[in-house]
Amino acid sequence: MRVGVLTGGGDCPGLNAVIRAAVRKGVQEYGYTFTGFRDGWRGPLEGQVVPLDIPAVRGILPRGGTILGSSRTNPLTAVDGVRRIKENLAKYEVDALIAIGGEDTLGVAARLSDEYGVPCVGVPKTIDNDLSATDYTFGFDTAVNIATEAIDRLHTTAESHMRVLVVEVMGRHAGWIALHSGLAGGANAILIPEQRFDVAEVCGWVESRFKVRYAPIVVVAEGAMPKDGQMVLKDGSLDSFGHVRLSGVGEWLAKEIERRTGQEARTTVLGHVQRGGTPSAFDRWLATRFGLHAIEAVRDQAYGAMVALRGTDVVRVPLAEATAKLKTVDPRLYAEAGVFFG
Ligand code: F6P
C-alpha cells in the first residue's frame, strides 16, 4: 500500500505532527510506503511530489508550518482537474490519499471521494476551529494562546496611556479565536462575524470604562461587521475558493471610536503570527492522535471519512457531513461571554 499525503489551505501549527504520526505508524506497523504531494491539491494536480519516509519526518513534531508546503489550489475548478489527479495518483502508484486541511481542502476531498471514487481520508485543521463534526481542530489552541498573550501585553500599555486598544484576530467566518482569547485575556468587548455589532454601543462601553479610569480592550475578529451597514474595507481579491480577502475592520473601528468618543485609540492586527511557530502541547497531542487515526482509517479503507475529536475520543465522521456547513459560534456561548464594562 502506498499512501499519499497533502496539506492544503492556510498553514497551521500541528500539520507536521500529523504527517509524522501517520508516516511512523504506517511504516512501522503496517509496512506502508508514502508519497508527499507538494502544496495542497496542486501536488496531485500537477504531479509534484516529495519523498516521505521516516528520516523525512524526524524532528518535525514541534515545527510550525508544513514540510509539504500548502496552497489554496482548487482542482475542481481546474481544466480536467479530476482526470489529472487520477492520472497522477496512478503514475505514482498511490492507493489512498490523506488530505489534511480545512473546509475548502476537505470539501474537495469529500467530492473526490464520494463523486469520483478517489480514495481519500480527511484530517481537520484550522486555527479558526470552524469545521463541523469535530469539537476542536488543531492549531486553534496555539492561536488562542498567542492572541491571549498579546492581549495581556496590550492591557499594560493601554493602561499606561489610557487608550483604547483594538485587537484584530483571525476568523473570517467564525469568531472562535476572538471569543476564547477575549475571555482568556479579559477583553471588555468581543466582536465576532456571527453577530453584527453596533458601533454606537461599542463606543458606549468604551466611554463607561473611561469613567472608572480603565483603558478598554476590544477584541474583534477580522470577519466582524458593523450593524449600520458601514462597509469594512476589503481588498476585493478572491481566492480560488471564492473567499474575499478581508482587511481593515480593526483599523476602521479604532478610527470610529476616536471620532465618536474623542478617546485615543490604537489597533493591533495579529495576523499571521497566530498561524506561525511551534504548536502548543494540546495541538501536538491532538494532531498526533489525528495522524494515528487517519492511517488506521486508510488501513480500514474508510474512504470518504474524516477523523474528528468528540469529547476525548477520536472518531470517524463522513467528510461530506464535516464540510457541509461551518461550525460558527453558538449565540448562547456568545451571550455567556457578554461584555464587561462600567
Ligand atoms: O483559514 C484560516 C485563516 O487564518 C483565516 O482566519 C484567514 O482569513 C485566512 O486564513 C487568511 O489566510 P491567507 O492570508 O493565507 O489567505
Residue 202 near residue 218 (C-beta atoms within 8 A)? yes
Going by the DSSP 8-state scheme, the letter that residue 311 receives in this structure is: T
pLDDT at 227: 86
CA-CA distance, 178 to 167, in Å (whole number)?
Answer: 9
- Backbone φ/ψ region at 7: left (φ over 0), alpha (ψ -120 to 50), beta: beta
Nearest CA to ligand 1 atom 12: 10
CA-CA distance, 308 to 317, in Å (whole number)?
Answer: 7
pLDDT at 156: 96
Q: What ipTM did this prediction achieve?
A: 0.95
Catalytic residues, which ones? 128
pLDDT at 246: 65
Nearest CA to ligand 1 atom 16: 10
Nearest CA to ligand 1 atom 1: 10
C-alpha cell at 21: 504520526
Q: Ligand 1 centroid vs 83 CA: distance in angstroms? A: 29
C-alpha cell at 313: 475520543
DSSP letters for 183-228: HHTT-SEEE-TTS-B-HHHHHHHHHHHHHTT---EEEEETT--BTT
Beta strand pairing call for 244-246 and 313-318: unpaired
Chain center to CA of 317: 19
- Among residues 191, 194, 179, 204, the alpha carbon closest in space to that of 249 is found at 191
Atom of ligand 1 nearest to the CA of 10: 15
Pocket probe for ligand 1: among 74, 100, 137, 172, the residue whose CB has the most ligand atoms within 8 Å is 172
Pocket probe for ligand 1: among 72, 126, 129, 170, the residue whose CB has the most ligand atoms within 8 Å is 170
pTM of the model: 0.94
Rg (CA), the chain: 21
Residue 53 near residue 324 (C-beta atoms within 8 A)? no
C-alpha distances in Å from residue 144, one per residue of 35, 85, 288 = 33, 36, 19
Residues framing ligand 1 (Cβ under 6 A): 10, 102, 126-128, 170-172, 222, 275
pLDDT at 311: 97
Pocket probe for ligand 1: among 11, 73, 128, the residue whose CB has the most ligand atoms within 8 Å is 128
Q: Ligand 1 centroid vs 66 CA: distance in angstroms? A: 15
Q: Ligand 1 centroid vs 12 CA: distance in angstroms? A: 10
Q: Ligand 1 centroid vs 131 CA: distance in angstroms? A: 14
- Among residues 11, 16, 68, 7, the alpha carbon closest in space to that of 40 is found at 7
H/E stretch holding 265? strand 265-269
Nearest CA to ligand 1 atom 13: 10
Q: Which CATH class is domain 2-138+279-322?
A: alpha beta
Residue 169 near residue 274 (C-beta atoms within 8 A)? yes
Q: Ligand 1 centroid vs 84 CA: distance in angstroms? A: 27
Nearest CA to ligand 1 atom 3: 10
- Backbone φ/ψ region at 93: left (φ over 0), alpha (ψ -120 to 50), beta: left
Atom of ligand 1 nearest to the CA of 239: 16
Backbone angles phi, psi at 95, to 5 degrees: -90, -25
Q: Ligand 1 centroid vs 233 CA: distance in angstroms? A: 16
Atom of ligand 1 nearest to the CA of 222: 8
Q: Ligand 1 centroid vs 102 CA: distance in angstroms? A: 11
Residue whose C-alpha cell is 492572541? 147
Residue 173 near residue 223 (C-beta atoms within 8 A)? yes
CATH 3.40.50.460 spans which residues of the chain? Answer: 144-276
Domain 144-276 has CATH 1.10.10.10: no
CA-CA distance, 279 to 8, in Å (whole number)?
Answer: 18
C-alpha cell at 228: 449600520
Residue whose C-alpha cell is 485615543? 264
pLDDT tens over the chain, length 342 residues: 999 999 999 999 999 999 999 999 999 999 999 999 999 999 999 999 999 999 999 999 999 999 999 999 999 999 999 999 999 999 999 999 999 999 999 999 999 999 999 999 999 999 999 999 999 999 999 999 999 999 999 999 999 999 999 999 999 999 999 999 999 999 999 999 999 999 999 999 999 988 888 899 999 999 999 987 665 666 666 667 767 666 689 999 999 999 999 999 999 999 999 999 999 999 999 999 999 999 999 999 999 999 999 999 999 999 999 999 999 999 999 998 875 533
CATH 3.40.50.450 spans which residues of the chain? Answer: 2-138+279-322
